[in-house]
Chain A
Amino acid sequence: DAGVIQSPRHEVTEMGQEVTLRCKPISGHNSLFWYRQTMMRGLELLIYFNNNVPIDDSGMPEDRFSAKMPNASFSTLKIQPSEPRDSAVYFCASRKQGNLGEQYFGPGTRLTVT
């Protein structure tokens, strides 16, 4: 079975540009999570969805960040405009209903904003 798929794997962009990260969760999983990982702040939960509905977006740093989940098999995390401090690895994870914290992570997208 395919795991969580993220694209692109690497993204280099200039400050001010719009960045869109994509995630395809594991089929049959009904929860999806977006995390950001940096050396300074560690692993932070940005937002998560349950049955395509955002449940908790308290981790989204500011209005420049937005996330959508139009259907059960696709989600996007958008940063507009991007800033150098957004440089990080962004992970998407999915979870099957009832499996509590047992999440399956994608390979991550390494974002560099210059």
Chain B
Amino acid sequence: AQKVTQAQTEISVVEKEDVTLDCVYETRDTTYYLFWYKQPPSGELVFLIRRNSFDEQNEISGRYSWNFQKSTSSFNFTITASQVVDSAVYFCAPYGGSSNTGKLIFGQGTTLQVKP
């Protein structure tokens, strides 16, 4: 079964600082998928990224980047030059099960507050 740990409950930074959100997962599967979701104050969860376990290339999307380290079972998320609009709860979520019948395993999330 999959399990995820987001050790940082809350992080507070000042605008323009870089911030990294940690995610450590556990899985017995040899092939698996990892996801990040964002939940802004409005409440609706938004999909950010999906990562396959067989692709360890890091990914960058604008100010967002993800560092996947299979050897340490980590999938960390970095926001560069943070902005107030980045304030949200961020969830790391491994995906368990088959492609059509599996489900996301959400962690407790990390609340990020970006102050102006």
Contact = CB atoms under 8 A, between A and B. Distances in A.
Contacts of B104: 45, 101, 103
B100 A97 contact: yes
B93 interface: yes
Nearest to B106: A43
B44 A101 contact: no
A93 B47 CA distance: 11
A110 to B, nearest CB: 8
Interface residues of B, number: 22
Contacts of A103: 45, 47, 104
**SS class, residues of chain A in contact with chain B:** strand
Contacts of A61: none
Given A55-B101, A56-B103, A98-B99, A105 B46 contact: yes
Given A43-B91, A100-B50, A31 B100 contact: yes
A101 B108 contact: no
A101 B43 contact: no
